[in-house]
Amino acid sequence: MTDDAMPATSDRIFIRDLVVRCIIGVEEVERREMQDVVVQIDLWVDLRKAGRTDALADSVDYSVLKRQILQATERTQYRLIEALAQRIADECLKDQRIECVKVAVEKPGVLRFARTVGVEIVRHR
């Protein structure tokens, strides 16, 4: 992320290696069965109040957010991982406390001789 794109807060919540299953791809063979994609999520949110109060209500409940993301994306169909990344970013930004989200979506094993291929997007409120 470039400096001019930085959110007002530097506090972050992150979710690493979230596995989402969906139909994804442009090739016929890719669209026959659900595939695993791996998602990395960074959420910029002011965590000062939560740090002082130690109250979950003053933070983003990442367990709830994970369920919302899975519910919104699993058993869906996308042609492009860019579209899946956008859907995840949109879901995250429904929480008004989140200023900015970075979503990386990887599709392991899709390219011969490469472990994974992916996209990364950043969306601001």
CA distance 38 to 20: 6
107 is catalytic: yes
Q: Give the type of residue at 9.
A: T
Q: Please pick, among 49, 94, 102, 107, the residue that the annotation labels catalytic.
A: 107
CA distance 49 to 58: 6
> What are the tokens at 62?
């990442």
What 8-state DSSP symbol labels residue 5?
G
Contacts of residue 45, Cβ cutoff 8 Å, sequence gap at least 6 = 9, 11, 12, 13, 59, 60, 95, 97, 98, 99
The alpha-helical segments, DSSP class H, found in the chain are 48-53, 62-73, 81-92
What residues act catalytically?
Answer: 107
